[in-house]
Amino acid sequence: MIERIETGTRMSKIVKHNGVAYLCGQVGAGDSVSEQTEDCLSRIEALLAQAGSSPERILQAIVWLADMADFAEMNAVWDGWVPAGHAPARACGEARLARADLKVEIIITAACD
């Protein structure tokens, strides 16, 4: 069974199937990559809770940065957020994001109830 949560015309915020939750890409508010990453991770935590999951259950993360020069700054926030011993498989690349003011977008796949 496929469960779609907060579904609109274009996308669902969460899709669950066979014990896995797929979150739509999350961005955050703020002027710096640190602020945007912190807000983005807060939004991810809320969606994970809604999906019956948590940061400890993340399987994979895909991080898009508008500028790879922000890699270290984003990682400083990420490394403080990921629970010790629960680092997911992760990729990070540079991409043009949906709006010029966005600096980071994160896509999460996690195990769920």
User: What are the tokens at 28?
Assistant: 């955050």
pLDDT band for position 104 (50/70/90)? Answer: very high
pTM, entire model = 0.96
Percent pLDDT > 90 in the chain is 99
What is the DSSP-derived secondary structure letter of residue 30?
Answer: S
**Conformation bin of residue 98: beta by default, left when phi > 0, alpha when psi is -120 to 50:** alpha
User: What is the C-alpha separation between 46 and 37, in angstroms, rounded?
Assistant: 14
Closest CA to 28 of 17, 14, 12, 39: 39
φ, ψ dihedrals at 9, nearest 5°: -65, -40
| 9-63: pLDDT as tens digits | 999 999 999 999 999 999 999 999 999 999 999 999 999 999 999 999 999 999 9
Q: Report the CATH number of the 2-111 domain.
A: 3.30.1330.40
User: What are the tokens at 108?
Assistant: 């999460």
